[in-house]
Structure 1
Amino acid sequence: MLITSTELNSILNDPNIIIADTRSFKEYSEGHIPGAVNLDLFAFHWIDTTKQGIENFNNQSKNLLSFLGVTPEKKVIFYDSVSGMLAARGVWMLHYFSHQNVSMLDGGFTKWKKENLPIETKLNGFKPSLFSGKINPEIISGFEYIRENLDNVKIIDVRSSGEYDGSVIRAAQSGHIPNSINIDWNQNIKEDGTFKNNDELSKMYDFPKDSEIVTYCQGAYRAANTFLALKKLGFKNVRVYLGSWGEWGNKLELPVEK
């Protein structure tokens, strides 16, 4: 799921790649990887995981990926400032629609720039397609699934310790989902913005490889980054809780721990 800057630089002219810059339009317009289009994924928050909510999310995501021009033969590469949460969200999203040919640029634009690789400022337009992915329900979770499986799954809260312990309040309720453990997603990344190696990550995620894991944060962006870290380590059964704390913390009937 990761591609190095050297690897990406060697395939820049391949007509079958789509490069999506997930940073803000301002950052994109100041300089980006040649051929990249700008897709600010932060605009697509989703905190409704009722049956209807998931259906709406599926439809919106399909429209978004059609706009991006994804077709079965395309290799899609998402990048961020570093190996961050926005690019990770893009990778998770395509996996959710069973499009496996997708990667995140390890180290993001910061590393690309530092290595003096080519940069352009001209704006690139989208070449829309009709995207029709097959949903993989095994890598997504809604609030009901978690509520029913609180004692059966390993829940990783990837937010800051303040959000986890309730001292930072970002919803009607503060605290965390019962039984969840706190491993801040920032710990997945080295100082240079690339992902830590597997030895370092394994020390943080020291669980049996067959564990069923659900990751969550506030809006399922940081949680997508930890999804990638766990997949990198070979965990097979990982879900992202799409609604995350933005949903759970605002549903007063759901249990909370501090």
Structure 2
Amino acid sequence: MLISTSELNSILDDSNLIIADTRSFKEYSEGHIPGAVHLDLFAFHWIDTSKQGIENFNNQSKSLLSFLGVTPEKKVVFYDSVSGMLAARGVWMLMYFSHQNTMMLDGGITKWQKENLAIETNPNGFKPSDFSGKTNPEIISGFEYIQDNLENLKILDARSPGEYDGSTIRAAQSGHIPNAINIDWSQNLREDGTFKNDEELSKMYDYPKDTEIVTYCQGAYRAANSFLVLKKLGFSNVKVYLGSWGEWGNRLDLPVEN
């Protein structure tokens, strides 16, 4: 699920490659990887994980991925300023639609520029497709699943310690989902913005590989980053709670701890 700067640089001419820059349009305009299109995934928050809500998410996502031009033979690379949460969200979304040939640029454009690789400023147009991926319910969770399985799940809160303990308030309720443990997603990265190696990450996520884990944050972006790390380490049963605290913390009928 990761591609290095040198690997990506060697396949820039591949006609089956889609490169999606998930940063702001301003950052994209100031310089991006040659051939990259701009895709603002941050605008795609989703805080309704009722059955109908997930169905609507599926339909909206298919429209977005059709716009991006995804077809079965395409290799799709998402990048961010670092090995960030926006690129991770893109990779998770494609995996959710059973498109396995997707990856994140490790170190993002920061590493790319540090290595003096080519940059362009002209925008690139989309080549839309009719995307029809099959959803994989094994890597997504709604609020009801967590509520029904609170005692059996390992719930991983990828937010900051302040959000977790309730001192930073970003919803009607403050705190965290009961029994959740806090591992801030930013700890997944080295100072240079690349992912830590598996040995370092395994010390942070020291659980049996078949543990059922649900990751969440505020809007399922940081949670997607932690999801990728867990999959990279070989965890077989990991889900992203799509609604995250944006949904859970604003539903007064759901339990919280702080």
Category of TM-score, reference length = shorter chain: over 0.9
Deviation per residue, 1:230-258 (Å, 9 max, x gap): 01100010000000000000100100001
The CA deviation at 1:100 is 0.2
Give distance in 1, aligned partners of 2:253 and 2:142. 15
Query: Hey, which bits of structure 1, 4+ residues long, moved more than 2 A?
Result: none
The answer for the alignment partner of 1:103 in structure 2 is: 103
SS in 2 for 1:104: strand
Deviation per residue, 1:101-131 (Å, 9 max, x gap): 0000000000000000000001100000000
Deviation per residue, 1:132-189 (Å, 9 max, x gap): 0000000000000000000001000010000000000000000000000000000000
- Does residue 208 in structure 1 map to residue 208 in structure 2? yes
Give distance in 2, aligned partners of 1:81 and 1:175. 29
Give distance in 1, aligned partners of 2:112 and 2:40. 19
The CA deviation at 1:4 is 0.0
The answer for the alignment partner of 1:74 in structure 2 is: 74
Q: How many residues align?
A: 258
- Identity fraction in percent: 83
* TM-score normalised according to structure 1 size: 1.00
The CA deviation at 1:50 is 0.4
The answer for the alignment partner of 1:57 in structure 2 is: 57
SS in 1 for 2:99: coil
The answer for the alignment partner of 1:114 in structure 2 is: 114
Q: What is the identity, as a one-letter code, of the residue corresponding to 1:133?
A: G
Q: What is the identity, as a one-letter code, of the residue corresponding to 1:55?
A: E
The answer for the alignment partner of 2:86 in structure 1 is: 86
The 5 Å alignment of 1:1-258 reads 1-258=1-258
Give distance in 1, aligned partners of 2:85 and 2:155. 18
SS in 2 for 1:87: helix
Give distance in 1, aligned partners of 2:189 and 2:21. 19
Give distance in 1, aligned partners of 2:40 and 2:12. 21
Deviation per residue, 1:88-110 (Å, 9 max, x gap): 00000000000000000000000
Give distance in 1, aligned partners of 2:227 and 2:102. 14
Give distance in 1, aligned partners of 2:21 and 2:158. 24
Give distance in 2, aligned partners of 1:30 and 1:170. 31
Give distance in 1, aligned partners of 2:161 and 2:108. 26
Q: What is the identity, as a one-letter code, of the residue corresponding to 1:13?
A: D
Q: What is the identity, as a one-letter code, of the residue corresponding to 1:40?
A: D
Deviation per residue, 1:77-98 (Å, 9 max, x gap): 0000000000000000000000
The CA deviation at 1:55 is 0.5
SS in 2 for 1:109: helix
The CA deviation at 1:29 is 0.4
Q: What is the identity, as a one-letter code, of the residue corresponding to 2:80?
A: D
Q: Which runs of 5+ in 2 are unaligned?
A: none
The CA deviation at 1:229 is 0.4
Q: What is the identity, as a one-letter code, of the residue corresponding to 2:202?
A: S
Give distance in 2, aligned partners of 1:123 and 1:54. 32
Q: What CA RMSD, in Å, does the superposition of the two structures yield over aligned residues? A: 0.3
